[in-house]
Structure 1
Amino acid sequence: MDENILKLKKLVSESSNIVFFGGAGVSTESGIPDFRSEQGIYNTVKNFGYPPEQILSHSFFMKNPEKFYDFYRSTMIYENAKPNLAHLRLAKLEKQGKLKAIVTQNIDGLHQLAGSKTVYELHGSIHRNYCMKCGKFYPLSTITESKGVPQCKECGGTIKPDVVLYEEGLDEEIINNSIKAIKKADMLIVGGTSLNVYPAASFVNYYDGNKLILINKSKTPYDRYADLLIHDSIGKVFNEIIE
């Protein structure tokens, strides 16, 4: 077994208040593409007439909801995706009482599907959708089974996914809970994220301990601050360290 893996396994065994902070790389092993890699959404989706970053903005959604939903349904929803080893091992670590919270930038709900209970979704979830007029909530099936712009059955208002678009702020309660968990952690594992998306990436700065673990296939701006750095598949790493 690799020396760094052995070291991480020992650190996990010695910790009792672990927080995991993850990004799109956690779900790529479930067949969900990330955004910024060579094979990511931003670099491969070209046939919608607008850059993906523009389509995924609040102003675009308000002005062109039909075009937004064309893009959203075809590129952001993966109904058949299943939790991978990373999701499953994190859920197991929580059951063991070691992992206290997951802070995720993902919107796919796979952590909950794997069995994790304390999950702070910084960017929302595809599984929650609401009417912008009356506030009624709708499940994912309302989006996938409708065409064009989904309308509220109660008042006829436009239904919007409960995901954070560009130009929108993060939920204050989720921010506070995430920061509180990270501050209290005796170990922070950061995985599957480029740490280039703000303000989410800045949450790492709230960790004040000496067990900051970074697991990512590519380099991040925070690599130099890590107490342990592993450039590898997060599912593979977790499968080796969590029994």
Structure 2
Amino acid sequence: MVAKLKDILSSSNNIVFFGGAGVSTESNIPDFRSEKGLYQGDNGYKYSPEEMLSHSFFVSHKEDFYKFYKEKMIYKDAKPNAAHYALADLESMGKLRAVITQNIDGLHQEAGSRNVLELHGTVKDNYCTKCSEHFDLDYVMESKTLVPKCNICGGDIKPNVVLYEESLDEDVIKSAISYISNAEVLIVGGTSLVVYPAAGLINYFNGKYLVLINKSVTSFDNIADLVIKDKVGKVLGEAVSDLKKGY
């Protein structure tokens, strides 16, 4: 399976990667829906994660939102894993056109990827809801108040992530559709493809090879050209490592 993937990577210079939470789990960032995911079991809060990560909850319960957000959504010690580095290598080799990610941790950029489309935003960027001034993650985490305040106007700061009830960024979506619809190879990794509208982007692919790398079954397995049920980092790390030997 990995040998077939290596052949596909070797033959194309127009590859796009579409990734989900399974890419970051190998960096010890929990996903949402797996057996040990954020949405499973008693989380110690009186609200569900879905409710606490909604726009209306942020507006009406900012302290509860930030308590949950800082405790469950921020992993400052997380480091890029083999998947992140393999994708950065493919880009530097001139093979990968874009990384499209549902993750908000910024690990792709930390690994060296330059063209990253973040469908759900990023914890690394935050903005004042009053004056729109932007702040980094350290500013939010080191705030003396639970709800971080703007140092210019005193307004409340919101993470630049897409919460439930909010729409995805239109420009990011358009760019993602363009990359996917023009790609020769689309690699989908670490996502069960159940979260829409992001999962619907796969329908725009008309290229030569659709590759799925995921530990569990997806609804697109039957139409993929290659399905590998394993960890994304393990698979991409091995395939790209072999490929680099020829460069």
Structure 2 length-normalised TM: 0.96
Return the letter of the residue paired with 1:165: L
* Contact in 2 for aligned 1:103/1:120 (Cα 8 Å): yes
Q: Distance in 1 between matches of 2:222 and 2:31?
A: 23
CA RMSD of aligned residues (A): 0.8
Deviation, 1:224, is 1.1
2:80 maps to 1:57: no
- Residues 205-224 of structure 1 correspond to what in structure 2 (within 5 A)? 205-224=203-222
Q: How many percent of aligned residue pairs carry the same amino acid?
A: 58
- Of 45, 50, 53, 1:48 maps to 45
Q: Distance in 2 between matches of 1:48 and 1:24?
A: 22
Return the letter of the residue paired with 2:140: I
Deviation, 1:44, is 4.0
Q: SS of 2:201's equivalent?
A: helix
- Of 171, 195, 202, 1:197 maps to 195
User: How many residue pairs are counted as aligned between the two chains?
Assistant: 240
Q: Distance in 1 between matches of 2:104 and 2:117?
A: 10
Q: Distance in 1 between matches of 2:117 and 2:200?
A: 15
What stretches of structure 2 of length at least 5 have no aligned partner?
Answer: 242-247
- Of 71, 75, 82, 1:74 maps to 71
- Structure 1 outlier segments of 4+, above 2 Å: none
Counterpart position of 2:245: none
Deviation, 1:45, is 5.1
Deviation, 1:210, is 2.6
Return the letter of the residue paired with 1:128: D
What stretches of structure 1 of length at least 5 have no aligned partner?
Answer: none
Q: Distance in 1 between matches of 2:141 and 2:97?
A: 33
Q: CA 1:45 to 1:83, structure 2 compared with 1: closer, same or farther past 3 Å?
A: farther
Counterpart position of 1:175: 173
Q: Distance in 2 between matches of 1:143 and 1:45?
A: 26
2:8 maps to 1:11: yes
* Contact in 2 for aligned 1:126/1:161 (Cα 8 Å): yes
Return the letter of the residue paired with 1:176: K
Q: Distance in 1 between matches of 2:30 and 2:12?
A: 32
- Of 227, 235, 241, 1:237 maps to 235
Q: CA 1:82 to 1:44, structure 2 compared with 1: closer, same or farther past 3 Å?
A: farther
Counterpart position of 2:129: 132
Q: SS of 1:235's equivalent?
A: helix
Q: Distance in 2 between matches of 1:30 and 1:45?
A: 23
Measured against aligned partners, the alpha-carbon deviations of 1:183-224 in whole angstroms (never above 9, x if no partner) come to: 111000000001011000000000011300000001111111
2:119 maps to 1:122: yes
Structure 1 length-normalised TM: 0.97
Measured against aligned partners, the alpha-carbon deviations of 1:140-177 in whole angstroms (never above 9, x if no partner) come to: 01111123111111111110000000000000110011
